[in-house]
Amino acid sequence: MARRRQAVTIKHVAADAGVSLQTVSRVINAEPNVRPEMKKRVETSITKLGYVPSIAARRMSGSRSYLILALNDRERTIADWQARQGTDWVDQMLLGGMLKSAELGYRMIIELVDTHSDHVEREIDAALIALQPDGIILTPPHSDNPLITGLLKDRGVPFARIGSRDTSSGISLVMDDDGAARLATRHLIDLGHRRIGFIRGSAEYALSSWREDGWRAVMDEAGLPTDNLREPGDFSYASGRIAAEALLARDPRPTAILASNDQMAMATMDLASERGLAIPGDLSVISFDNTPMAIFSQPPLTAVDQPIAATASRAVELLIAANKGKTPAGETEVIEAALIERGSTGPAPAET
């Protein structure tokens, strides 16, 4: 029976090079306070032994943890997972954040935190003590929670705020929600639609108002009405159905509806079909997010593709740069979204 080869550790490298563990760690981390000849000895031993540095080895220098921690809303994330409806916010965050972290020699992990909890500060403090992350990624609604942002600022932990335009602390990144809503609304106007309804997302999220602002701005520019064409929602299927019922009861009813997420758009299409309306012959529908349900709906949904992976990737990049002393510009960074055209939109029906 073949013997299992023993893994090469930082101790083997230190012994082979005749240096301390801390010196090896400083070389691995490319820190400046290592003499050239010492660096060469360590690098020679690493190459000879085939050593692959671990996070533990890199942390030995004591300056960094090489961990990025992403905080997501517990209640909504668990509800999405349990519903198994194809929402993929967390998947896309991990795709962008984990790949960029690995590329830069870091690791990213995710924690679920209830932003409404009286113990939110205690939860985050516990995570900071246990993990000692080099940076935190906040997602909505955490991004604009003053308890969370204030605590991180007091602790001196760099943090990125996805979905927040607040530049007073942390790194601000947004996914061009108002610009994407403008793009979607113009697409419908170009198809001949003049009565375009809008279903807003949860008031708890700043991006909900930005999307409404984009829709309203383009409608105003085109001289088209918005009165009585906007209904509230909370990103759930049920709220989308209620909003769609109200919009489709208008006289005249809208010929197109822009919904603030895929679930509310799906509810709109289901209700329209039940009422004998053809999609897109009688009613065009556009959604935000472009989750898998948008692709597999019938007809497939025209959707704003939210650049979640690209935004998480950029957040990691900026946090790691901040750890190296590169201060962000102090402005909100905008990651552009795109409109994916599918079968749920078409020319406006002829007026009768």
Distance of CA 95 to the CA centre of its chain: 10
Determine whether 208 is exposed, middle or buried from the number of CB atoms within 10 Å of its CB (0-12, 13-18, 19+): buried
277: nearest Cα among 296, 300, 254: 254
Q: Nearest 10 degrees: CA dihedral of 89, 94, 100, 106?
A: 140
Q: What secondary structure does DSSP assign to 12-64, as a single string?
A: HHHHHHT--HHHHHHHHTT-S-S-HHHHHHHHHHHHHHT----HHHHHTTSS-
Phi-psi group of 135: left, alpha or beta (phi > 0 → left; psi -120 to 50 → alpha; rest → beta): beta
User: Where in the chain are all domains bearing CATH 1.10.260.40?
Assistant: 10-59
**336 neighbors 305 (Cβ within 8 angstroms):** no
Could you tell me what percentage of the chain is helix, strand and coil, using 3-state DSSP and rounding each to the nearest 5?
45, 15, 40
**31 neighbors 61 (Cβ within 8 angstroms):** yes
153: nearest Cα among 161, 164, 141, 165: 161
Looking at domain 10-59, its CATH class is mainly alpha
Q: Give the C-alpha separation, 345 to 190, whole Å.
A: 11
Predicted local confidence at residue 276, as pLDDT: 95
Predicted local confidence at residue 281, as pLDDT: 95
Predicted local confidence at residue 8, as pLDDT: 77
**120 neighbors 151 (Cβ within 8 angstroms):** no
What are the angstrom distances between the C-alpha of 7 and each of 3, 49, 236? 12, 10, 50
- What is the DSSP code (8-state) at residue 144? G
Fold of 67-175+308-336: Rossmann fold (3.40.50)
Q: Give the C-alpha separation, 64 to 214, whole Å.
A: 41
User: Where in the chain are all domains bearing CATH 3.40.50.2300?
Assistant: 67-175+308-336, 177-306
Q: Give the C-alpha separation, 262 to 87, whole Å.
A: 9
CATH architecture of 177-306: 3-Layer(aba) Sandwich (3.40)
Per-residue pLDDT of the chain (352 residues; tens, 9 = 90+): 444 446 778 788 888 888 888 788 777 766 667 888 888 888 888 888 877 666 555 555 556 778 999 998 888 888 888 877 767 888 899 999 999 999 888 899 998 888 777 788 888 888 888 888 999 999 988 898 888 999 999 888 899 999 999 988 899 999 999 999 999 999 999 999 999 999 999 998 999 999 999 999 999 999 999 999 999 999 999 999 999 999 999 999 999 999 999 999 999 999 999 999 999 999 999 999 998 889 888 999 999 999 999 999 999 999 998 887 777 767 899 999 999 999 999 999 987 4
